[in-house]
Structure 1
Amino acid sequence: MKLPVGEAEHPGLIILQIDGLSRSQFEYAIEKGNLPFLSKLMRRGHFTLESFYSGVPSTTPAVQGEIFYGVRAAVPGFQFLHRESGKVMRMYEAESAAAIEAELRERGEQPLLEGGCGYSNIYRAGTAFSRYCSQDLASTELVRRVNPLKWLVLGLVYLPKLLRMAGLALLEFAIALADAVKGFYERENVLSELIFVPARVVVCILLREAIRFRILLDIERGVPVIHGNFLGYDEQSHRRGPRSAFAHWTLKGIDRAIRDIFRAGDHSAYRDYEVIVHSDHGQEHTIPYERKYGRELHSAVAEVFSTGPMAGTEVWMRRRSELLGDTMGRFRNLMGMQSDSVASGTPQPESQIIVTAMGPLGHIYLPRPLASEELENYALELVKSAGVPLVLLPQEDGTVRAFNGRGQWSLPTHAAEVLGASHPFLAEVTQDLVALCFHPNAGNLLISGWDPEGEPLSFPMENGAHCGPGSEETRGFLLVPDRIRRWHHARLPATGTRVRGEDLRKIGLHFLGRDGTREERVAERLQRDRELPLRVMTYNIHSCVGLDGKVRPERVARVINHFDPDIIAVQEVDCHRLRSRGYDQAQLIADHLRMTHVFHAMFEEQRERYGIALFSRHPFTTIRADYLTEADPRLFREARGAIWVKVEPEGGKPFHFVNTHFGLGRAERVRQADELLGERWLGTVPADEPVVVAGDFNSGPRSRALQRLRQRFRDVQLAVPGHVPIPTFSSACPLLRIDHVFVSEHFTVEGVDQPFSPVARIASDHLPLCAELTLR
């Protein structure tokens, strides 16, 4: 990718994933002050907090498969038997990730990150550039990318940043040693505590800083879409538990990295960026199986299958009894080492019982089919003798038999008895769990550590875990910027209580302009128009000159677009003026919004024009576009005018809409108000026809000019019970309420809103004002 020239027409999207942070732990971190920057953006209204539903299995390769390719349950777990190849896959291994991604490319849709960059993900997802993803850690890939001269030059150029990373690593090393001492005191294994120290420094600090550095470079290069995955919290949570102080300590560093990325995107000279922050899943606080029962799962499963039709069949299982979570696996991969395995030899699915259980969800693969009664007997023994909290057995009729300590059940019928009546996603998680049992690579029996009436188990030695159907592990969080939230609430009504991977994918594709054909968008728009209130806006765009001095019509259009408005009244619009690069700003904004528009000039000199414009997604007829008062050079007063159209929504009732921009003098504003209400303008509109008047009136709510207008129309900011009127000028520090929307008695005002996002504050010296109306 080359350095950009000029400015990009389309915005960029940065998706940042905080791996493993559940919504409840996110809220706890906000409460404790461990995410100060994200907390500040939420208080300012830039982000809206929503629940992210991971689906089942609640693990990164499954969730990212859904986000990047639109495929639910891309894998049946983090570790599983790939039946076609006969290999046991672990999804941080390069070969496993490459094989599954090849299948996703065949089954799924266009990858979300096509032409972009990705960091620390499972899949490359169509990126033009990726680092620290599973496939990037193959030994051949690492050798191919070694360029000593390049790294020497980069090391010299970015020496201060490298020194910063080294300092942070030393600090984390000291904290890690203290954490290890704490582990000794709590009688953890000494060797595993010492091994975890360098793993923690690499995964939690060096990888985080490398991702931050790479994304900052990508912003400078104008990359259109970027996805970065911060692993530190997830790895610490596996070891110490999701609410542990050390796990939450890592969130402070992640928050600082997000702060730097957000600010860089906000000040990009080439492309306007929007940032989405989410977690792919949460974690349950778990008891390790071995700690509870004093033996490994492998030996317990071998004992269960030592009798009956499977007697004498060897049980194969990769065991990592002292390895907590997948931290060491990631660490070894990042260091270019081979993966470890305690199990001897290559698995033989045709002759061995294969057990895969990396986390609180596992699969048992049998070498030959068994009768239904025989499988049920083994399932009962796994619960009774082995102490497995939940065993699932798929049935030929598409249902699933579930076995736990309280009896035998059928899914989906007995969802509450199996998963808990208080589960936040009970219906969805039941549906996904049933589907998982019939996954092509699922085991003949599925085992789970989830127990809604007891403390969950995890089969490895870890104090925090995810992969199963638990209420915490399936409930992540999503921070949606305001302009994106409006679109997905309007188009994806089911996401009112949660967003899942496929929804986040749709949101991203829409923002990037890759969400279907024009015909599909038109059909979607018509459906939305029938279901939602009318949304009108007024916005003084200051000739598209932002507070940063940059002329960006496309930035103004994006501020407008985040409201998803139907009709927009815009003031201070330039056309072919040298001061604003000669743009026809109304046409550029109309093209960006895909709307019809009308422009009326208040000033003309040769080709240069300056005036007001109106944009509408509904058909309209222009009734009048003219002056309210002429220019008066003696008093240094500009001409002021209005645009009056009749809007005719498809299948809806027509109404009048007026856009105006009043002058700066008190007396002239009164004259302009009287003229607007007079016989040349709205005085001729019959009393039974609805009217909306919007614009920059340069007048406060108590002015004589607005008192004239309120004799016939209602101020939308005063028509909503409990609403506190919001000022619109200036955008940097709003103090004055001079932009207004007035409506006739035919409308009910459903709500009033305005953005106070960083982009809106800088795009113009005014903030827009938006009102939702229902025409009675």
Structure 2
Amino acid sequence: MDNGDASGERRLPRVLGIVALDWAVLGVTVWLVPGVTADSGWTVLLAALVLGVVAAVLRPLLVRLLTWVGWAGVALGWLLSQALLLYLALSVTPGMHLDGFWPVFWASWLYGTLVSVVLWFVTAGDLSVLARHLTRLNRRHRRAAAPTAVPGVVVVQVDGLSAPLTGWAVRCGNLPTLGRWLRSGSHTLDEWHAQLPATTPASQAGLLHGGSDHVPAFRWYEKEAGRLVVTNRPHDSAMVEARMSDGRGLLADGGVSVSNVFSGDAPTSLLTMSTAGRRGGPGRPARYLTTYLLDPFGLTHALVLTVGEIVKELHQARRQRLRDVEPRIPRTAAYVMLRGATNVLLRHLNLSIVAEHMMRGAPVVFCDFVDYDEIAHHAGPARPESLAALEGIDNVLFTLERVAAAAPRPYRFVVLSDHGQSQGPTFLQRYGTGLEDLVRRLTAVHDSDVVATGAEEHRGRADTLRAGITGRVPAGAETGPEPAPAARVVVVASGNLGMVYLADRPGRLTMEEIDEAHPRLLKGLTGHAGIGWVMVRTRAHGPVVLGPEGRHYLTGGGVEGVDPLGPFGPYAADDLRRHDGLAHVGDLVINSAWDATTDEVTAFEELTGSHGGLGGWQNRPVLIRPTDWPVDGTLVGADAVHRQLLAWLGRETAVSLP
């Protein structure tokens, strides 16, 4: 038997199964919804067949029409398209009786929900179903693409994943796809060092642009302009990208940026913070997202699973409370909704976009999957729900591997992270006061402006998702809260890294000037049990790192007393020397204490898993690469990984694609 006959034999049971599923679900829908009736079960079967034909013919036309109309049309089409298709199919089917359009409208939502639930039960564990669907959905792009033997590259960033945790999860069998790649020898796992600050914006500035030195923290204060910069606000991320971009970023040559902070100069940029505020900007999101919005396996299916994710989160949070798991933080209603959005809706949307551009033959695609990082912040990096999110991303890799087999060019996969995460109780939980309150008490400045909530990180992701779907930046997302003009002290936090600015004094202040203005501040900080070290500049010796029992002079390398950087690893001094030279660094740079026994830090934000400073696994991200792509030396910093990626892409002569 030839391959065509074999393929036909495999396809026939699937088609019959789909018909039986649609028949059963449509029958239940007709039975439950008043105003929609059928003469018999055979009438329902005929209606299901008609609906399949109508949808196959008209849905592509609807996608083109609604894309042309714009985002309002896309949103309206998503709400009404299934109802219109169902209404048309039932209207032309003999033996079906309808009491107007609105009963059919509600029937279409019930039908879509039931199909999604049944599909989840039927296909649970069969990852190839989604791969086949994405391949069929994008076959027109495959036909239009010019085949080539030149490999493309898909870079999947698993936000927040540390190398030690990756190795452990592979050994435990939690990541079967990655485990298969590593055991087969096709890929190799490396660790690289994330320099201070260990945050997504800083690492992505390096990975995508080679410009990590433009980002001193997740959020910072610029004295000259008197403004706070938060890197996942569209306006701020666009400003930072404009400062560092030379037009030759990692994705400049026909690449695609998906769900990143910065675009890498990609001509197609979707769900990316730095381009989210551009109306009609790169990639024209409507053209790529309309298909997903109107696909029965797309948004409606994802929304049903999102509800399931929310229920699961409520159960897991309650279980943590009942078992008195420590450390833990309250998991607010806002986070519950956000987890559903990032762990299901955004992941599915990212997967759909990446698969489409692989079928178009894009030379390089870079996508950041944030769901693990989001859950690990609230539950802890190695907690069961966080590991389950990792398994979901491993499933994404399996699906993309199957899609690659049908793409117009071969693809090589690189899996990396931007930083790791370190666990621990928060500074507020452990010591009963926040960093901002501690600084306020030590400076006796009661009108301090304090920016340390950390809400922008999570809101920023939601705002970018909304902007990508609607084409509009939500109100308040373009700009955020700014320090009051009269503020004398500004405190910002990025995980367990904090910075303090004496905002009423220009320039970077020295230790002597700070002692003169606030005599208790430095002694109070370095004497606090929750502070590991404080970096400040001196008039005579340049930058110095102060600890509770000693100091480390960064310029000359001398140490007095107990070295405050001793517990923080071999890269700590170099990281701080580099960080001291960045623009807009605080007058004081503060890192929390790190407990070597428990490997815990104390975040200045209300997060169980955190990153941004030094200590624990947060500075140990992972790089999983094709084994035949060599690494040129030790990878220290995201800029070094950027140069290595360029080499693998053939943009440098040191290494070329095989």
Asked if these proteins are the same fold (TM beyond 0.5), I'd say: yes
How far 1:195 moved relative to its partner?
2.4
RMSD: 3.3
Give the equivalent residue in structure 1 for 2:136: none
Structure-2 change in CA distance of 1:63 and 1:371 (3 Å): closer
Unmatched tracts of structure 2, length 5 or more = 1-139, 467-472
Aligned mates of 1:244, 1:190 — CA distance in 2: 13
Are residues 1:119 and 2:258 paired? yes
Are residues 1:165 and 2:302 paired? yes
Q: Give 1:459-498 correspondences, 5 Å limit.
A: 459-485=604-630, 488=631, 492=632, 494-495=633-634, 498=635
Is the contact between residue 20 and residue 476 of structure 1 (CA under 8 Å) also seen in structure 2? yes
Partner of residue 196 from structure 1, selected from 335, 345, 348: 335
Matched residue SS, 2:198: coil
Amino acid at match of 2:180: K
Amino acid at match of 1:85: A
**Greater relative contact order (CA < 8 Å, ≥ 6 in sequence):** 2
Partner of residue 272 from structure 1, selected from 399, 410, 416: 410
Structure-2 change in CA distance of 1:143 and 1:320 (3 Å): farther
Q: Give 1:723-762 correspondences, 5 Å limit.
A: none
Give the equivalent residue in structure 1 for 2:193: 53
Partner of residue 508 from structure 1, selected from 645, 650, 654: 645
Aligned mates of 1:197, 1:154 — CA distance in 2: 24
Are residues 1:314 and 2:447 paired? yes
Aligned mates of 1:408, 1:152 — CA distance in 2: 58
Aligned mates of 2:352, 2:499 — CA distance in 1: 39
Q: Give 1:422-437 correspondences, 5 Å limit.
A: 423=569, 426=570, 428-437=571-580
Structure-2 change in CA distance of 1:501 and 1:137 (3 Å): same
Amino acid at match of 2:566: G
How far 1:460 moved relative to its partner?
0.8
How far 1:303 moved relative to its partner?
0.9
Aligned mates of 2:346, 2:582 — CA distance in 1: 33
Give the equivalent residue in structure 2 for 1:331: 462
Give the equivalent residue in structure 2 for 1:362: 498
Matched residue SS, 1:392: strand
Structure-2 change in CA distance of 1:194 and 1:483 (3 Å): same
Are residues 1:352 and 2:488 paired? yes
How far 1:119 moved relative to its partner?
1.1
Amino acid at match of 2:615: G
Matched residue SS, 1:282: coil
Matched residue SS, 2:214: coil
How far 1:445 moved relative to its partner?
0.6
Amino acid at match of 1:331: A
Structure-2 change in CA distance of 1:32 and 1:350 (3 Å): same
Are residues 1:408 and 2:551 paired? yes
Are residues 1:381 and 2:524 paired? yes
Is the contact between residue 450 and residue 469 of structure 1 (CA under 8 Å) also seen in structure 2? no
Deviations 1:356-386 (A, max 9, x none): 1131111111121656335354222223258
How far 1:514 moved relative to its partner?
1.8
Are residues 1:134 and 2:277 paired? no
Is the contact between residue 329 and residue 339 of structure 1 (CA under 8 Å) also seen in structure 2? no
User: Computing the radius of gyration over CA atoms, which structure comes out larger, 1 or 2?
Assistant: 1
Is the contact between residue 255 and residue 268 of structure 2 (CA under 8 Å) also seen in structure 1? yes
Is the contact between residue 360 and residue 457 of structure 1 (CA under 8 Å) also seen in structure 2? yes
Structure-2 change in CA distance of 1:36 and 1:151 (3 Å): closer
Structure-2 change in CA distance of 1:42 and 1:85 (3 Å): same
How far 1:298 moved relative to its partner?
1.8
Deviations 1:580-604 (A, max 9, x none): xxxxxxxxxxxxxxxxxxxxxxxxx
Matched residue SS, 1:8: coil
Unmatched tracts of structure 1, length 5 or more = 307-311, 516-520, 526-557, 563-776
Is the contact between residue 180 and residue 194 of structure 1 (CA under 8 Å) also seen in structure 2? no
Structure-2 change in CA distance of 1:385 and 1:52 (3 Å): closer
Matched residue SS, 1:389: strand
Give the equivalent residue in structure 2 for 1:420: 566
Are residues 1:96 and 2:233 paired? no
How far 1:167 moved relative to its partner?
4.2
Amino acid at match of 1:390: W
Identical residues among aligned pairs (%): 25
Aligned mates of 1:479, 1:150 — CA distance in 2: 29
Amino acid at match of 2:440: A
Aligned mates of 1:142, 1:180 — CA distance in 2: 39
Amino acid at match of 1:504: V
Is the contact between residue 484 and residue 507 of structure 1 (CA under 8 Å) also seen in structure 2? no
Amino acid at match of 1:160: F
Structure-2 change in CA distance of 1:372 and 1:82 (3 Å): closer
Structure-2 change in CA distance of 1:142 and 1:397 (3 Å): same
Aligned mates of 1:183, 1:136 — CA distance in 2: 38
Give the equivalent residue in structure 2 for 1:394: 537
Amino acid at match of 1:133: T
Aligned mates of 1:190, 1:431 — CA distance in 2: 33
Structure-2 change in CA distance of 1:10 and 1:197 (3 Å): same
How far 1:326 moved relative to its partner?
3.0
Are residues 1:31 and 2:171 paired? yes
Structure with higher helix content: 2
Amino acid at match of 1:389: G
Matched residue SS, 1:159: coil
How far 1:499 moved relative to its partner?
5.6
Amino acid at match of 2:457: D
Deviations 1:447-486 (A, max 9, x none): 111436474211011111101122411111111102213x
Q: Give 1:146-295 correspondences, 5 Å limit.
A: 155-156=293-294, 158-185=295-322, 186=324, 192-268=331-407, 270-295=408-433
Structure-2 change in CA distance of 1:119 and 1:302 (3 Å): same
Deviations 1:721-762 (A, max 9, x none): xxxxxxxxxxxxxxxxxxxxxxxxxxxxxxxxxxxxxxxxxx
Structure-2 change in CA distance of 1:315 and 1:260 (3 Å): same
Aligned mates of 2:364, 2:558 — CA distance in 1: 42
Aligned mates of 1:458, 1:256 — CA distance in 2: 31
Aligned mates of 1:414, 1:285 — CA distance in 2: 29
Amino acid at match of 2:204: Q
Deviations 1:41-77 (A, max 9, x none): 1000011111021111111111111111222333110
Aligned mates of 2:195, 2:452 — CA distance in 1: 26
Deviations 1:187-233 (A, max 9, x none): 99998432221110101211111111111000110111110111111
Deviations 1:137-162 (A, max 9, x none): 43856999686x99666544x32244
Is the contact between residue 180 and residue 197 of structure 1 (CA under 8 Å) also seen in structure 2? no
Give the equivalent residue in structure 1 for 2:439: 301
